[in-house]
Amino acid sequence: MNEVEIWKKVEEFFIKNFDMEANPPVEMLLYLIGIQELGSGWQEFSKDDKINLIHIAVCRLLEPFGYYKFTGYDEDGWPQYDQLEDLPELKPNEQKILMKKAIVQYFIDENLLDEVS
């Protein structure tokens, strides 16, 4: 299966499990991955918390690429990461491509593709 086919499976996962429309925005996927990584389940989050959830997702997704390292949890149970390497300067479309590749890798690493029929 190539990256395009895997990305379609990722989208199917979100559409099926979160009642999303086709082509969900990457930011929404990052938010949901952040909630998953926080491990607290669905709840009401403040605007700042939502931004932090997206940041958690970005750190987790870019960890296998060597940009971040998980260091543990803070006193509130939120995952903490150290930045190991500066992110490259990317155009918005290039950022989206990088995040899609990282999301695909996350789904492979977490065996989430098996949940898509």
Please report the DSSP string for 46-66 in residue order.
-HHHHHHHHHHHHHHHHGGGT
DSSP 8-state code for residue 89:
P
Q: What does the alpha-carbon distance between residue 11 and residue 48 come to, in Å, rounded to a whole number?
A: 26
Span 22-47, mean pLDDT?
92
pLDDT score of 117 more than 70: no
pLDDT, tens only, 58-86: 999 999 999 999 999 999 999 999 999 99
Mean pLDDT over 78-101 rounds to 95
N residues, the chain:
117
Cα separation, 106 vs 108, whole angstroms: 5
